[in-house]
Amino acid sequence: MRYLLSIILVLLCVANCSLAQIKEKTLPYYDSLVASPEFEFVLLIDRMLKEFLGDKHIGERTIRAGKLLLDKPYIDKSLEMTSDESQTVCNFTGFDCVTFFETSWALAVTVKTSYNHTYKDYIDVVTNHRYRDGIRNGFQSRLHYTSDYFYDNAKRGNLQEMTKSIGGSDTKLEKKPINFMTTHPNLYKQLANDPAMVAKMDSIEKMINARGGFYYIPKEDVEDNEKGIHTGDLIGITTSIPGIDCSHTGIAIKEKDGRIHFMHASSAMHKVIISPMPLHDYLKGNAKQTGIMVYRPMEWGASLLKVGSTKLK
């Protein structure tokens, strides 16, 4: 029934029906529909299509998608709806810092590469980005650490590593061990009472550490190098906290002042915002933030798109 109603919603949106008209035509199912991610997706993708965003560059599309989510509430650990990763969880009503950039980026990809712009196609894109090698296979398959998330997606051509080329000689290599999850299993419900899962995550962390560290641009050098950062680039904010690579993530955006600002789901402001100050100045406000990693979303080639064993249409 929900699938049928989702089709009806798409047709109503295409027909430029107002929310009041949609409510009238879908009673008594309206209340359950508006609470569904399918409904939110239809509204968001319809707005992007009406702005012809499919013709824009991936960076512009990512930023526009992010702007559609401005003021949405911050929700900590927004993916922890299931403990076994039996489904790809998507939620358009609130975000943590990772799901915000992930949602914006996935919408930007879907509006360009999906022929029918369906919710299933969007879920396929999110799955491809969120899980190692694009395959959901348990909690350990999720790309929990930002450097690992960026590395895996860059390896598959979804992202381009830009940190070293932008930072040049200012770029530094961080070699500290990445092991926060296995040294703090009590903070994760999937690990707290599951030694076997802790062992699986330990193997993942050892794989990450075997790469020899990750590169970042120190925060005191960001202003001098920000000319190389593009609107729509994904930003990982590195941290001095032991065991963790990045403590925050978001999207770069050039504002009217000509400077790079930071669009992100802010735990301090409890919502999605664009930082009023440039990224360089934003980083100064947190002593534990050491710098940034920069990765650039790439256009997906339609003939190369694969999510698990399912090719996007």
Which of 106, 74, 73 minimizes the C-alpha distance to 88?
A: 106
pLDDT at 4: 46
Share of the chain above pLDDT 90, in %: 75
Residue 310 pLDDT: 38
Q: Is the pLDDT of residue 92 over 80?
A: yes
| pLDDT 10s digits, 146-188 | 999 999 999 999 999 999 999 999 999 999 999 999 999 999 9
- Whole-model pTM over 0.85: yes
Tell me the pLDDT tens digit for each residue of 225-277: 999 999 999 999 999 999 999 999 999 999 999 999 999 999 999 999 999 99
Residues 108-127: pLDDT tens digits? 999 998 778 899 999 999 99
